[in-house]
Amino acid sequence: MTESPNYPNYPESAAAGRPAAAPARPSTVEGAFWAFIASTVIGLVGGFLIFASRDAIADTLRNSNRQSGGSLTDAQIDQAVTITMVVALVIAVVIAALYLLFAFKLRAGRNWARIVLTVITALQLLSVLVGQTTVLGYISVVVAVIGVVLSFLTPSNAYFAAAKPIR
């Protein structure tokens, strides 16, 4: 079958009415996918480890409350710490779920997911650079940066370009 002038790279099977075969996924995309998965898991582990430092956080708030002449009771401080930690954990789980969704879409050849993951990684990197974080936070962002780099290498670019006309 001849190629259409409007779609020079259009797969012949799609032009014949059959669904086009998905392009082979390069190892760079697989590596990026697994890097984003690892970054997500590391981030969640760090989120759960905050519960181990609950007493230290409560003590810091108590000392701050005393020094500023605050009127919060120990029970109110404990309650505030618990609520804050639970809300932070829920937010971390929601962000992790979205991160996983984008990673799977990246693996499926969706260029928009690659862009979203790049933006999220850039924001994660900025938050690590300007804020306080743990060793796991640094490891998580380094792994995510590796995922971004892998997702923009030449084989990955070719994969995303080839996957686009199939949809």
The three-class DSSP label of residue 63 is: helix
pLDDT at 20: 61
Cβ neighbours, 10 Å, residue 123: 10
Cα–Cα distance measured from residue 22 to residue 48, given in angstroms and rounded to the nearest whole number: 38
For residues 56-82, give the mean pLDDT: 86
Tokens (6 digits) for 157: 């670019």
The amino acid at residue 53 is S
Q: What is the pLDDT of residues 88-116, one digit of tens each?
A: 888 888 989 999 999 999 999 999 999 99
Give me Rg for the CA atoms of the chain.
23
Whether the per-residue pLDDT at 121 is higher than 90: the answer is yes
Residue 164 CA to residue 6 CA, distance in Å, equals: 15
Q: Are 46 and 136 in contact (CB under 8 A)?
A: yes
**pLDDT, tens only, 5-34:** 444 454 444 445 555 667 789 999 999 999
Cβ pair 41, 27 in contact under 8 A: no
For the chain, give the mean pLDDT: 85
For tokens 């998905």, the residue is 22
Measure the CA–CA gap between 166 and 145, rounded to whole angstroms: 28
Answer yes or no: are the C-beta atoms of 155 and 26 closer than 8 Å: yes
